[in-house]
Each structure stands twice: as structure tokens, then as C-alpha cells.
Structure 1
Amino acid sequence: MSLTKKSKKGPFTLGITGTIASGKSSAGKILQELGVPVIDTDHIVHEILAKDPTVIKAVKDRFGEEVLTNEGKIDREKLGKVVFSDHEAKKSLEAIVHPATIMQCRKLIEEKNDNPVVAILVPLLFEARLESEYDEIWTIFTDEAILKERLAKRNGLDSVEIEKRLGAQMSQNEKVMRADHVIDNSDSLENTRNQIKTLLSKISGEA
């Protein structure tokens, strides 16, 4: 494979980003079906919030009892409601969680050294200024009306909560402008799959 890389060691890394409900997970499933290992940083964050004692203590100290379950564990739904309605709270949570997430992500990439390409799903890639972590960045784009419909159906959010969630992230247009490539996920999954296959072929020098 003739891969153009920012880094000299390890696999070619694809950073996959996009706004909430844009279809990052769907893109990840397609990549897996095409033989590309996928690391989901959302899963890493969930693990950290459940098991990392340093992070758990920092979250409890910063946000208090209101984000805990009856058993004293972090309730991600309660925490989400707090941070999506308060910009400073969101920044505080990111400062607590991001360093541990980045370290774990790097470790998982190292474990996949035998693979020519590894994809990493990173919702806040640009917001966290992680561009230099990846050899290439793809933004998953979806028509805004479809985004809102997905959020209403999948997450059970009302229109006010939807606007809060979307407003808490960088706009789709900005993410599109900053990406190396854009996958339009507004149509069928087959169309999305074809776009991904084409870009993978270019990465491997087969196109």
C-alpha cells in the first residue's frame, strides 16, 4: 500500500468526525465490514466514566450529587443534560475526560499495528484540536432536517433540546471545511458505503 502519512510508525489513521446523529457509527460499521478496525472514542469515554477512579473523582468533585445515580455512580444522561446547557460545564468535563481518552486511544492504535489502516470515531475532533493525531480526517455530513429527525426519534429529544445539542458543537459547515474529505450521509447507506470504498481505494493507492 502506498499510504501518505503524517506519522512514520504504525497504521494509517483515519479520524472520523461529524455532528451528533450525522452517521459516524454507521460509517464505522461500514468501515469494519470493509476490513478496517474501528476505535470509537465514545465507548472509551463511557469506560473511563465508569471505571477510571481519577476521572470519576474529578467529575464528582466538579459536578456534585446531581450527576450521580442512587448507587453513587456517574449517570451519563444526567451529566449530559448539565453540560449541554452550560458551556463552561462542558469545557470542564472535556478538560477532565479528554486527556485520559487520548491516552487510551493511542494505546488502542498501537495494539493494531499490524493493520494498514485504522479508523477512529471522534465526535469532537476539531473542537478538541486533535487534527495532528490523525493522518487523514473525514467529516460525515447529513442534511440538517434529517439530523433533527434522527435526534427526535433516536434520542427522544424535543426541539429545544435538539437545538441545545447541535448548538453545543461546531457547525457542520465548519467541520466540512476543515476535513480532508467529506462523506455525505443524507442518502442511502449504500451510497455512503460507495463513498467510503472510493476514499479507501485512494488511500491504498489502488484508485
Structure 2
Amino acid sequence: MKPPIQVGITGGIGSGKSLVCKIFQCLGVPVYDADRHAKELMTTDGILVSEIKKEFGVLSYNEDGSLNRSYLAGTVFNDSARLKTLNSLVHPRVGLNYQQWVAHQVNHPYVLKEAALLFESGSHQLLDKVIVVHAPESLRVQRVLKRDHHRTADQILAIIKNQMPEEVKLKRADFMIQNDETILLIPQVIALHQHFISMHS
């Protein structure tokens, strides 16, 4: 049996990649949410937990074993070198977890790996194709303000500034889904779905 084609899907904050993934899931496509798994593994993967404690101190975790998010965020948010260090601990463990997950998806023609930092982490190199979900910056900021009431426009722009520039992502992508509310999303997803199925057959 042929292994499934591995397709990455990424996009900046507010681009709508989670919505696009939900549409793929409705079509029966397995989706691995790398960011959700990263959060999970930071408390359940013993190797990763001990590496984080060693690098960032025992205060990185609360007494009940949960992640001390505010402490960790305060440590890395404005320090790109520390953020890089944290990502360098987390990404390999997520990569391993993802490979184990793929091994269980053999009866599917293709799978999706959803990750905000797909290019930045280098994990795109292990995938067959990459989709970038694209929307203009002003629209993305509006969407996040509506969704995350605790964030300000300046905070969102700071996050965008920390992510890879949109034009670089688009150059590296194999496919682009436009989510700027001028083109319907579902037909774009269905066209790619059919393309990946025909690639696998």
C-alpha cells in the first residue's frame, strides 16, 4: 500500500488556515494540528519537559505539572534568541510525534500537517507539498481582534512581524488558497483535494 502524500498547510495569524483545515476534515482528510500537539507534548513528553526545565528553569511548570504559560511567554516573547531556543526543543519532538501519527494513516491518499511555523521550523522539507492560506494583513488583524478580545492591534502586528514575511511564504508554497473574502473557499479546497487524490492514484 502506498504511504499517504504528506501536505503541509500554513499561513500567518488570522489567515484562516484552521477554517481551511476544517473544510478538508469534512472531506475525510486526517489533519495533524502541530501547534495543538506542541502544547500537549510540552506537558506529556518526559524528554521535552526535562529539556524545558533545564533550559528555562523549574518555574516553567506549575506545581500540578501544567505549563506556566505566563512565565514562559514573559521569558521568550520579546527575546528572539530565547524563543528560537524553545522552538529548537519543541519542534523535533513534534516532528517525531507527527511521523508516528502518519504511520497510522496508511488507508488515506493524503494527510495534512497544519503548522503556523512550517517553514521557520524546517519541517516543510519532510513534506511532499505545501499550501499557504493567504489574506491581506489588514483583514487578518481585523479577524484576530474579533476572535481574541485580549489582544490589541499592536500585539497582533508584533506577532505578524515575528512570523516569516507573507511574500516569502508564497514564493516557497506549492499551492495558495486565497481567503480574502473575494473568492469562495470551498471550491478552492475541493480542487486541491481532487488534485492530491489523483497524485496518489
TM-score (norm 1): 0.86
Letter in 1 for 2:156: I
Deviation per residue, 1:90-133 (Å, 9 max, x gap) = 10111110111000001101100111111110211111122221
Q: Please give the residue correspondences for 1:22-41 in structure 2 after superposition, counting only pairs within 5 Å.
A: 22-41=15-34
Deviation per residue, 1:4-30 (Å, 9 max, x gap) = xxxx95101110011122111111100
Partner residue, 2:37: 44
Q: Conserved in 2, the CA contact under 8 Å of 1:38 and 1:119?
A: yes
- Counterpart among 132, 154, 161 of residue 167 in structure 1: 161
Q: Secondary structure at the match of 1:204?
A: helix
In the alignment, does 2:125 pair up with 1:111? no
* Count of residue pairs brought into register by the alignment: 198
Structure 1 alignment gaps of length 5 or more:
1-7
Q: Please give the residue correspondences for 1:174-193 in structure 2 after superposition, counting only pairs within 5 Å.
A: 174-187=168-181, 191-193=184-186
Letter in 1 for 2:172: R
1:202 is displaced (CA, Å) by: 2.1
Deviation per residue, 1:60-84 (Å, 9 max, x gap) = 2322355444645313354334333
Q: Please give the residue correspondences for 1:68-147 in structure 2 after superposition, counting only pairs within 5 Å.
A: 68-69=61-62, 71=64, 73-147=66-140
Q: Conserved in 2, the CA contact under 8 Å of 1:11 and 1:113?
A: yes
CA distance in 2, matches of 1:64, 1:205: 50
1:59 is displaced (CA, Å) by: 1.6
Over aligned residue pairs, what C-alpha RMSD do you find?
2.1
Structure 2 alignment gaps of length 5 or more:
none
Structure 1 range deviating more: 56-65 or 108-117: 56-65
1:169 is displaced (CA, Å) by: 1.0
CA distance in 2, matches of 1:70, 1:153: 34
Structure 1 range deviating more: 93-102 or 20-29: 20-29
Q: Secondary structure at the match of 1:95?
A: helix
Letter in 2 for 1:136: K
Partner residue, 1:196: 189
Deviation per residue, 1:31-77 (Å, 9 max, x gap) = 00011111111121011112112211222232235544464531335
Q: Conserved in 2, the CA contact under 8 Å of 1:127 and 1:170?
A: yes
Q: Conserved in 1, the CA contact under 8 Å of 2:109 and 2:196?
A: no
Q: Structure 1 vs Structure 2: percent identity of aligned residues?
A: 30
TM-score (norm 2): 0.89
Q: Secondary structure at the match of 2:103?
A: helix
CA distance in 2, matches of 1:56, 1:43: 16
Partner residue, 1:17: 10
